[in-house]
Structure 1
Amino acid sequence: MQSTRRNLPQLLGDARRWFEEGLLAALEADGATPVSPTQVQLFAVLDDQGTTVSELARRMGVTRQTAHQAVHGLVAAGLLEQVPHPASARQRLIRRTQEGEHAHRRAGLILERLEEQLAGRIGQDRVDALRTTLEARWGQPPIPGAE
């Protein structure tokens, strides 16, 4: 008989989607520029001083093409801009525009409210324990057969 117990990566994915859906719904209700979950993820991994598309793709765990498409949509929406990379004539840095900074701050406030709502549903002690667990150093993933 197969177990119906869901594995941890599935549960973590559901938790991430809960926050993404809440964030997207709140942004839409505020009349913000519509963005996709991939674009939300890109915003979350973008450095304040700017980040290359290749680095964004690595941090997001997506192809460079997927990251580039997300960047292109956010540039077209006026939330990101491309600027020359100071150390490389071949690369460009992606960074937030003034409007993008405003959207990023607004998203941060929405995520804080969502976390407060989660604490109201499951308890602050559980939210604190979850945060502590996720902030712990896990080390590198184990390599099968290398033990």
Structure 2
Amino acid sequence: MNATGRDLPQLLGDARRWFEDALLATLDEAGAVPVSPTQARLFAVLDERGTTVSELARRMGVTRQTAHQAVHGLVADGLLEQVPDPASGRQRLIRRTPEGERAHHRAGLILARLEEELAGRIGREAVGALRAALEAPWGRPPSLDRA
């Protein structure tokens, strides 16, 4: 039995929210353009050369409509832009504007500081072990037989 009675996906979700909440609060205190947690996750999965809304939705695990709404808000704030996809006349790529690149860089610096803060709280060795476990190749998700 685990100590908290909570399963690993719940704990991983809480850990993600810890970083997300601290990132958004730090950006807010710095006077950055306010973004939602969904918009912050979208920024994290965006390719340098641009990504389609459908691919963003798949990477984020949300509907295409949710991804489109997040993109629309970030475009309106001047952080993202839509450009024609050179590989497809029908699709558009979403990419960061210069201001979006600056915001993405700032977020990366904040996340690195948060990782240091976490190491101070739970120990550098624990953070290293957590990182190693999450970076290890897990393989394709299994389809387990009914128990």
TM-score normalised according to structure 2 size: 0.96
**C-alpha displacement at 1:132, in angstroms?**
0.2
**C-alpha displacement at 1:24, in angstroms?**
0.3
* Cα distance in 2, alignment partners of residues 70 and 26 from structure 1: 20
SS at 2:141 equivalent:
coil
Q: How does 1:101-116 map to 2 (within 5 A)?
A: 101-116=101-116
* Cα distance in 1, alignment partners of residues 76 and 88 from structure 2: 24
State the aligned residue count: 144
**C-alpha displacement at 1:142, in angstroms?**
1.2
**C-alpha displacement at 1:144, in angstroms?**
2.5
Which residue number corresponds to residue 61 of structure 1?
61
Which residue number corresponds to residue 29 of structure 2?
29
Q: Percent identity?
A: 76
Which residue number corresponds to residue 117 of structure 1?
117
Q: How does 1:40-119 map to 2 (within 5 A)?
A: 40-119=40-119
* Cα distance in 1, alignment partners of residues 124 and 84 from structure 2: 44
Unaligned runs of 5+ in 1: none
The root-mean-square deviation of aligned C-alpha atoms, in Å, is: 1.2
Paired AA for residue 144 in structure 2: P
* Cα distance in 2, alignment partners of residues 91 and 64 from structure 1: 14
SS at 2:94 equivalent:
strand
CA-to-aligned-CA distance 1:86-132 (integer Å, 9 cap, x gap):
01010000000000000000000000000000000000000000000
CA-to-aligned-CA distance 1:11-55 (integer Å, 9 cap, x gap):
000000000000000000110000000000000000000000000
CA-to-aligned-CA distance 1:47-70 (integer Å, 9 cap, x gap):
000000000000000000000000
* Cα distance in 2, alignment partners of residues 144 and 124 from structure 1: 35
Paired AA for residue 145 in structure 2: G
Unaligned runs of 5+ in 2: none
Paired AA for residue 63 in structure 1: T
**C-alpha displacement at 1:140, in angstroms?**
1.1
